[in-house]
């Protein structure tokens, strides 16, 4: 940024001093451009003109004032207006390292999206706007009504439930992919259950939480009734035993005495006949 002043004087030095006086600086701090040299009067009575100079200094430009709250608010209003919601109320609660933005209005469910995906995307874009200049990180959170608090309670209950299940069954359980904020909620909830632990696996959008027993998975015994189908023996055991014989309610019959066969030509038609004496 350049500040300048143009002044006149009987001499170049006098004109330069007058120009510096207008700038409010000393002659050693400014630069000088001579615009017109002085001319003397003819016979000391006619004509003549004073010197005319330009004094200037170059000052560093002042950085524009960056207000992340105002810039993020303006961005959100533009996006909401484009979505057909120009009258949504935006309330801001400033914190030490950032601010929380809450949207209030009617029919805002589609801004939340499936399990908060749309809301998370809008929060990410607003954070980029608030942090587009170098400096300290500005943490921005975006909520619709009390959705974040309700979602947190749901995730905490889910984390504790899966942790108790892991301790009881001795098996690991994988949850659906979540963003870093929701994964932290799950990890914190699992820590409250003795004997359970949690960790994250996967990459990028597929990163998810796994919950299991502290000592690792326990080996499952054959025919363990704690498995997925309690009360049913597995097919392996059944195959080893072979097919089960059919049940019957009939009593065993005594063997009958065999009489003469009709197809034996030498057999008598009747039994033995005793002769009376």
Of 145, 164, 184, which marks where a domain is finished?
145
Using 50, 70 and 90 to split pLDDT, how confident is the model at 209? very high
Q: Are residues 139 and 105 in the same domain?
A: yes
> Tell me, what's the pLDDT at 149?
92
Query: Which of 127, 145, 163 corresponds to the end of one domain?
Result: 145
Residues 90 and 136 in one domain: yes
Of 73-82, 104-113, 174-183, 191-200, the poorest mean pLDDT is in 104-113
**How many domains does the chain contain in total?**
3
- Please indicate, yes or no, whether residues 117 and 165 belong to a single structural domain of this protein: no
Q: Looking at the domain assignment, is residue 167 inside a domain?
A: yes
The domain that contains 201 carries what CATH number?
3.30.1370.50
**Residue 16: other Cβ atoms inside 10 A:** 23
Q: At a CB cut-off of 8 Å and minimum separation 6, what does 36 contact?
A: 49, 50, 51, 52
Q: Are residues 82 and 130 in the same domain?
A: yes
- Whether 212 and 163 have beta carbons less than 8 Å apart is answered as no
Is 63 a member of any domain?
no
248 lies in some domain: no
* Average of per-residue pLDDT values in the chain: 80
Residue numbers of the domain that contains 127 = 68-145
Q: Among the residues of the chain, which ranges form H helices?
A: 12-23, 68-82, 109-112, 117-130, 147-169, 180-190, 235-241
CA distance 91 to 103: 7
pTM of the model: 0.53
Q: Does the pLDDT at position 111 exceed 70?
A: yes
Residue 272 has pLDDT above 70, yes or no: no
pLDDT of res. 220: 72
């Amino acid at each position: 940024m350049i500040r300048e002043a143009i002044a006149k004087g009987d001499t170049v030095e006098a004109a330069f001093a007058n120009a510096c006086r207008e700038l409010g600086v000393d002659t050693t701090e400014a630069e000088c451009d001579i615009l017109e040299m002085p001319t003397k009067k003819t016979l000391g009575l006619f004509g003549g003109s004073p010197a005319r100079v330009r004094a200037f200094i170059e000052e560093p430009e002042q950085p524009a004032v960056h207000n992340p709250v105002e810039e993020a608010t303006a961005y959100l209003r533009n996006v909401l207006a484009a979505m057909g919601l120009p009258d949504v109320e935006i309330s801001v609660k400033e914190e030490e390292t950032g601010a929380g933005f809450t949207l209030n209005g009617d029919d805002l469910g589609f801004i939340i999206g499936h399990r908060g995906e749309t809301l998370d995307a809008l929060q990410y874009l607003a954070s980029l706007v608030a942090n587009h200049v170098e400096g300290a990180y500005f943490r921005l959170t975006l909520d619709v009504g009390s959705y974040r608090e309700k979602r947190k309670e749901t995730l905490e209950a889910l984390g504790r439930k899966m942790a108790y299940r892991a301790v009881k069954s001795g098996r690991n359980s994988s949850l659906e992919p979540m963003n870093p904020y929701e994964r932290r909620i799950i990890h914190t909830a699992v820590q409250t259950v003795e004997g359970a632990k949690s960790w994250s696996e996967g990459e990028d959008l597929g990163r998810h939480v796994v919950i299991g027993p502290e000592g690792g998975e326990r080996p499952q015994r054959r025919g363990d009734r704690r498995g997925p189908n309690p009360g049913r023996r597995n097919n392996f055991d059944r195959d080893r035993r072979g097919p089960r014989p059919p049940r019957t309610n009939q009593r065993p019959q005594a063997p009958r005495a065999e009489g003469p066969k009709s197809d034996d030509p030498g057999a008598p038609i009747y039994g033995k006949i005793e002769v009376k004496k």
